[in-house]
Structure 1
């Protein structure tokens, strides 16, 4: 045990020595089979946004804003540490801790509100049985829907509160999927079975929240309370079944389906609400071209962030929603590196509940019906560690009372990745 501690301390000392060099990645190994490595990235985006005046008599988190921000892209910075143990009795054990810092504050010169998000802290055990994972990581439901779309390594939507927003840009959250988030979980993944894999997870449950509704039809929400199913007696369950393979001369194919189920209760009445979701997608690549299509549907998922914001209407009924993404990209080598051109379109839609329809008919007040975004992007790898990009997007919202709203964005940015 003493020699192991010495090896780990020596590895840490070597890490800090190597970190000052120009190496692209740092991996330090001990003589007894332990290894320590780090990976990460730093990125920064400049984004200009112009938009219509925000509509009245609707519920939305948009603000009337036109301006410019400098902040991280959809992925903030990353600094992650990985530890791997020597293989023992056929088991490979490893752990990862990932910090996700955001470089910008609110857009006031002397605000000290930058954030560091601890998104990953988990360990894995691999063997001939598959893999067991315990800790905090990206959730299964809609995780691949997020990971397979191009604004993951880009900008996407800047966000509604242009002049106050802290944190990264929002990617395609709310425009083709609902954000899966990083959550505490126990997960089991089967071994590869001729291209098929099944992953099932048990998750820390979430409250299922709604929005305040105009229950007395007085055109005011000041006297209303948002419903909240905050009693969580059972975990949340998520799964994903995937298949990956090849075809023809160098073609690749991947498909997946994923799902979610959770119940929660209102403490005051004891009534249950149920959140469920079903999603899936395909990724096909050949000769530099790649086509991506994904979709989801469900109840009590919310419009953008999952479960705990606007998943219920003003009287606690589950809101139904669905969405999809279609995307095409082409990647080619050139004398200046590797360039990817991409175009994608995504939509989230909500059904109007009977209560929301009554409010609209009595007051004219409208809930959101559709959010869509069209994005064109150019992503250029100068080398494997340095990337520059440009994105242009058109965003549109529509409400059940006929109001609509448009946003146009243009952004450029750069990544350093190791």
Structure 2
């Protein structure tokens, strides 16, 4: 559960840390080697629900032991990152290879930045270390005339634009595990609170050339099992696609996108319990001078909530429907950006299902201040309120505050 909720995206590192040139570029013959990355650290204080009700899949933190409040020092929505690129041009083709390595600052011996060390030592104790997460290994080739092919492990298409434009990318958003005394190396941001996490997938994609601002991507990906279900063979891959459009007019810039995915799930809950998962999202961003509005909406059938195929069916192959949205506004005052976003992720019961403690919806509102102390160093302050409600009407509420820094290079 923690692993699927808290993996965060490296593509944001590239957008935040570079305006063209990489932090380091080395030329050797026909090859260029590049290095980018970030280090971000935040103090996070969380006030959690101390009269908690059962909400399976709820993202509002609850009291643990005798404590309803928690302090932690952790990474935010993004882990720290060190990303390497290898670039060359051969026979008229632009060829690139990419590797992404993601450490954190929280104590962890679990082999993944999001799996804490367990018994007999316990969690977040002396002698622990952090771990390294390798989530990107992919290559691309093509050119502006024929388009681009991408093969390897990289971020998927569904949900990508929602998270890459989330104002909490350099910050924290919802605290997630950082609120419960055993912080993972990333927080939630707005994951499960306005969009489903895009995740990293083994995939093969093709992106068309730019046609008057339009681009399309189609591809296949290694099919995923539902979270918590037994491993299953899949006779066909998963499929996903994306259509995007960018234009400028009257001093404004508009970006629109729509994505979709579909995948067959086999033998969920027993032989013969098969179903097809599908999801669709659309949204955009409008920038006028220093003001920006953004929003994305998604709907899914047998896709679940928070992570791909988490709580996607009732355990017997009967699909649950889900939907959600994230709305956001920002305004720049010189070197300071002010922002607010609000998100909701809802999950319906399957037909005939009785499950009063299953999460019905997770809601969040975040207000943030992001000040560029230098072109690479950003100071961050945020306040986030989260509500989780179950299907019997019970709900938990929590709030967290964070201050920290984000260094990109």
Q: Give the TM-score of the pair, scaled to structure 2.
A: 0.85
1:28 to 26, 29, 45: 26
2:24–2:35 CA contact under 8 A, matched in 1 = yes
- Find the aligned partners of 1:63 and 1:182 in 2 and give their Cα distance: 29
May I ask how many residue pairs the two structures share in their alignment? 366
1:343–1:376 CA contact under 8 A, matched in 2 = yes
- Find the aligned partners of 2:198 and 2:136 in 1 and give their Cα distance: 14
The residue that corresponds to 1:406 in the other structure is 397
The residue that corresponds to 1:256 in the other structure is 257
Pick the structure with greater CA Rg: 1
| Post-superposition offset of 1:229 | 7.1
| Post-superposition offset of 1:24 | 7.9
Q: Please list the CA deviations of residues 353-381 of structure 1 after superposition, one character each: whole Å capped at 9, or x if unmatched.
A: 23433x4xxxxx42111100000000011
Matched, 1:72 2:64: no
1:330-341 superposed matches below 5 A = 330-333=331-334, 338-341=335-338
Gaps of 5+ in 1: 1-22, 211-226, 360-364
2:203 to 185, 198, 202: 185
Q: Give the TM-score of the pair, scaled to structure 1.
A: 0.84
1:130-279 superposed matches below 5 A = 130-160=147-177, 162-209=180-227, 228=230, 230-248=232-250, 250-266=251-267, 268-279=270-281
Alpha-carbon RMSD across the aligned residues, in angstroms, is 1.9
Q: Pick closer, same or farther for the CA change 1:89–1:60 going to 2, 3 Å.
A: closer
1:314–1:355 CA contact under 8 A, matched in 2 = no
| Post-superposition offset of 1:317 | 1.1
Q: Secondary structure at the match of 1:356?
A: coil
Higher relative contact order (CA 8 A, sep 6+): 2
The residue that corresponds to 1:103 in the other structure is 105
Gaps of 5+ in 2: 1-20, 109-122
Matched, 1:81 2:79: no
- Find the aligned partners of 1:34 and 1:326 in 2 and give their Cα distance: 42
Q: Secondary structure at the match of 2:353?
A: helix
Structure 1 runs (4+) deviating above 3 angstroms are: 60-63
Q: Secondary structure at the match of 1:318?
A: coil
1:346 to 343, 346, 349: 343
- Find the aligned partners of 2:129 and 2:47 in 1 and give their Cα distance: 25
1:367 to 358, 365, 372: 358
1:313–1:355 CA contact under 8 A, matched in 2 = no
- Find the aligned partners of 2:127 and 2:183 in 1 and give their Cα distance: 12
